[in-house]
Structure 1
Amino acid sequence: MLRRLLFTALVFGAACLQTSAQEKKTEVKKEEKKQTAPALAPTKANVPYGTHERQVLDFYQAKSEKPTPVVFYIHGGGWQGGDKKGFAAKPFLDAGISVVAINYRYVKQAVELKVEPPVKAPLEDAARALQFVRSKASEWNLDKKRIGATGGSAGGCSSLWLAFHEDMAQPDSADPIARESTRLYCAAVNGAQTSLDPKELKEWMPNYGYGAHAFGMPSLAVVMENREKIMKWINEYSPYALVSKNDPPIGLYFNKQDTPPVVGTNQKDPTHSAVLGVKLAEKLKAEGVEVVLVHQDMPNTKLPTSAAFLIEYLKK
């Protein structure tokens, strides 16, 4: 009898555990479904701007009789993952702003293609995609002057690189797309890396350790050892190194920062720390460039998000 009771209890307990696990699994699935709810369908999907399978973009057209401004979205993922899908285009479309969301080659694919440094591939893909979009201005009813870039993390770094880099247009090129400008009207980014220089980054945050893959190296320590040899790469691809007085208005958003961004101290999440924004904002202000910096200790009620910044500046 006792054995029977024990057996029944064990079976019942196992059933309860299984039911609980199933319920938890169901809740997870519900949450995943909620988080991956079908996004707004693009007007044009997977439009190629190059020959590689990752060189495609989605276009969301705002309804307007006159040419519309454009938000140019570059997804994050450390230049190692991520996708253009799922960008919240609706707030911009409702404001009369069209949206372009791009994919680009990852650094892994750049290594396979022997691109040096590997970060050159995602960055120059972004530039080419921007030129392609401008070449479609008439067909897609776009104001090619008013294009603002946005993205988070590595996508934000790419956006800043475009914002600060001198125009890469080739006026005499036989390729009409290459003749288009790569300059931006504005940019607003979230948790972006603002420098690729290991020396700067370690001075800003001693526990910083991200970004070696951009140069095809195994660690930031190795990048530091070879810094002098790759200074030409740092000067070409690090946003901070490219800042000038001619740069467009910039929004730097670090809304996930939950500790004071004190320069020279270890940070909880150094890769996305507001210290990166503090240092870039200092340099931009010194050059006379308009900049909005937002984090926990520096809120902005008028422009609390990167989306608010882009709508404000693109509609001016």
Structure 2
Amino acid sequence: MKLALTLVFSLTAGFVYAQDEVPELPPTHADVAYGPFERNVLDFWQAEGEGPRPLFIHIHGGGWVGGDKKQKTSQYAPYLKQGISCASINYRLTPANPLPAPVHDAARAIQFLRSKAAEWNIDSKHIAVSGGSAGACTSMWLLLHDDLADPKATDPVLRESTRVCAAAAGVGQVSIDPKVIEDWLGPNVLKHRMINFAVGETSIEKALENYDKHRALYFEFSPYNHVDGQDPPLFMTYRDDMTLPSKDAGHGIHHPVYGVKMKEKSDTVGHECHLLIPGYSKSDQYANATEFLIAKLLAK
């Protein structure tokens, strides 16, 4: 049996915490297909407790280009101890599968898990999502976007709701529109392949050349464009390097100004939004994303 490290760093939680050695936690159900594509698979950890259990869903990062649902399972221990079930998903990757594929796959995973509510003892009213980087962007989009449920769909999974009760985002992109983010962060952010691969282009030059063709996709899959005062709460975590313009592609694609922009808009429309940037911004209610998510998932 593998043992997790005693010091665990979580961008999603935004803190380093010490713990006793935690055994790797085998999922209750592994590699369950939630859709028709090879990467439409998820792992599920069923929590103990009376009545239907809330559900935490992890969406991996990797710029929508790479990554995998296989993570250190010690990150699920705080949730399972509170009687919260957990899931981790894979999804199709760009550029071979450009938007909407990665994000709509995650939406379908939520719908599939809701369809399993009775069998897997899930409280479908208390489902939250979290991830880092592109997983954070997807999580924020799912939180803020209108429900994708189609009550007339022949596929019963697609009749289920895609809405969640909360989301936590680690170093997430609130916009993927190259013209918007270059204005916010400077030209280096455009060097990150996430931006052009998202729309299936091999280079940022091609993406900009064909910008009008991709404009609608860039707008649609930028969470910033969907926030309003009726949306469920959000917790965002970023590193503390506020340097502008961004220093390189990695700094730009994870820049804390993304969080500042979202927080400003959320505050304007009356949306509950917490922003953690060391030395710059903190939440008066929650020390980290794990505390936030557990509170929202256990709320009556």
Please, which of 122, 130, 144 is the counterpart of residue 124 of structure 2? Answer: 144
SS at match of 1:89: helix
- Alpha-carbon deviations, 1:131-164, whole Å to 9, x = none? 0000001111111011111000011111111111
Aligned equivalents of 1:274 and 1:289: distance in 2? 19
- Name the counterpart of 2:228: 244
Aligned equivalents of 2:247 and 2:108: distance in 1? 35
1:54–1:103 CA contact under 8 A, matched in 2: yes
2:148–2:162 CA contact under 8 A, matched in 1: yes
- Alpha-carbon deviations, 1:200-229, whole Å to 9, x = none? 101110131231110112333443343333
Q: CA deviation at 1:267?
A: 4.6
SS at match of 1:215: coil
- Name the counterpart of 1:3: none
Larger Rg belongs to: 1
- Name the counterpart of 1:14: none
Please, which of 43, 60, 65 is the counterpart of residue 58 of structure 1? Answer: 43
- Name the counterpart of 1:233: 217
What's the % identity of the aligned pairs?
43
Instruction: Return 5+ residue gaps in structure 2 as ranges.
Output: 9-21
Please, which of 239, 251, 256 is the counterpart of residue 274 of structure 1? Answer: 256
Aligned equivalents of 1:131 and 1:175: distance in 2? 11
Aligned equivalents of 1:267 and 1:200: distance in 2? 17
Aligned equivalents of 1:55 and 1:72: distance in 2? 14
Q: Does 1:158 find its partner at 2:145?
A: no
Aligned equivalents of 1:307 and 1:90: distance in 2? 11
In structure 2, what residue type is equivalent to 1:127? A
TM-score (norm 2): 0.85
Please, which of 230, 237, 257 is the counterpart of residue 253 of structure 1? Answer: 237
1:71–1:149 CA contact under 8 A, matched in 2: yes
1:234–1:241 CA contact under 8 A, matched in 2: no
- Name the counterpart of 1:132: 112
Aligned equivalents of 1:31 and 1:63: distance in 2? 22
- Name the counterpart of 1:312: 295
Aligned equivalents of 2:122 and 2:229: distance in 1? 27
Aligned equivalents of 1:214 and 1:109: distance in 2? 9
In structure 2, what residue type is equivalent to 1:314? L
- Name the counterpart of 1:103: 90
SS at match of 1:149: strand
1:84–1:103 CA contact under 8 A, matched in 2: yes
Q: Which has the higher contact order (CA 8 A, sep 6+)?
A: 2
In structure 1, what residue type is equivalent to 2:46? Q
Please, which of 71, 74, 89 is the counterpart of residue 59 of structure 2? Answer: 74
Count of aligned residue pairs for this structure pair: 275
TM-score (norm 1): 0.81
Aligned equivalents of 2:105 and 2:226: distance in 1? 18
Q: CA RMSD in A?
A: 2.3
More helix by share: 1
- Name the counterpart of 1:191: 171
Q: Does 1:167 find its partner at 2:167?
A: no
The 3 A distance-change label for structure 1 pair 161 and 31 is closer
Q: Does 1:284 find its partner at 2:284?
A: no
1:235–1:242 CA contact under 8 A, matched in 2: no
